[in-house]
Amino acid sequence: MTNSQTPAPFVATNGQGADEPRIYLACLAAYNGGRLHGRWVSAAFGEDYIRTETRAMLAESPEPDAEEWAIHDYENFEGASISEYASFETVCALAEFVAEHGELGAKLYRHFGDDLEQARDAFDDYAGEHRSAAEFAEQLHEDTGTEIPESLRYYIDWQALARDMALNGEIMVFQTGFDEVHVFWSR
């Protein structure tokens, strides 16, 4: 950073910043001239920080009067994609969302076609984490007070019921680990 104070990131990782979402900003003048010049910049410190780092990177370019940049790489966004010309506002908002929701947030972001507002809004309809979608379906019927005689319980295919709910558009299911699924009500 060019000034003596480093702002506090919105996400405290391991203190080293190794797990923070970051982008690689490339100088396009150098790139078009056949040279690689750029730098990795943390997205955890906000837009002003990224702008400052971008100006510094362009000022250090081997090409005179370098003005244009592009995002040529990124990491620690849990699988969410960032376009080459994404705004710093978009990058920071996505970094904060992924820091808050992790892999699940990235999966929602992708599910909604990289629309961050829709991904955020989906959490209004979050039905919780379950061991499986079948467990969710069974719990739903228990919570609604549906009485199922014990002698019939073993005949109910909860997995098929959950699958049908997803296929009918009633729920969305995202698996983030073994015995770890997240269910959302569809709108």
The total domain count for the chain is 2
Q: Phi/psi of residue 41, each to 5°?
A: -135, 130
Asked whether residue 164 is domain-assigned, the answer is yes
Asked whether residue 17 is domain-assigned, the answer is no
Query: Which pLDDT belongs to residue 17?
Result: 60
CATH value at residue 131? 1.10.10.1190
Same domain for 78 and 28: yes
The residue type found at 157 is D
- Specify the DSSP class assigned to residue 9: P
Q: Is the pTM of this model over 0.85?
A: no
Side-chain half-sphere CA neighbours of 169 within 13 A: 1
Residue 83 to residues 17, 47, 90, 177, Cα–Cα distance (Å): 23, 16, 10, 27
Span 152-162, pLDDT tens digits: 888 999 999 99
The parent domain of residue 175 ranges over 125-185
Span 71-105, pLDDT tens digits: 999 999 999 999 999 999 999 999 999 999 999 99
Asked whether residue 137 is domain-assigned, the answer is yes
Query: Which pLDDT belongs to residue 12?
Result: 36
Asked whether residue 14 is domain-assigned, the answer is no
Query: Which pLDDT belongs to residue 167?
Result: 97
- Specify the DSSP class assigned to residue 124: G
Q: Give every residue of the chain whose pLDDT is below 70, as ranges.
A: 1-17, 187
Same domain for 31 and 98: yes
Which residues does 17 contact at the CB level (< 8 Å), separation at least 6?
9, 42, 44
> Which residue in 131, 148, 140 sits closest to 171, CA to CA?
140
Are the C-beta atoms of residues 126 and 101 closer than 8 Å to each other?
A: no
Query: Which pLDDT belongs to residue 14?
Result: 33
Query: Which pLDDT belongs to residue 147?
Result: 85
Query: Which pLDDT belongs to residue 11?
Result: 43
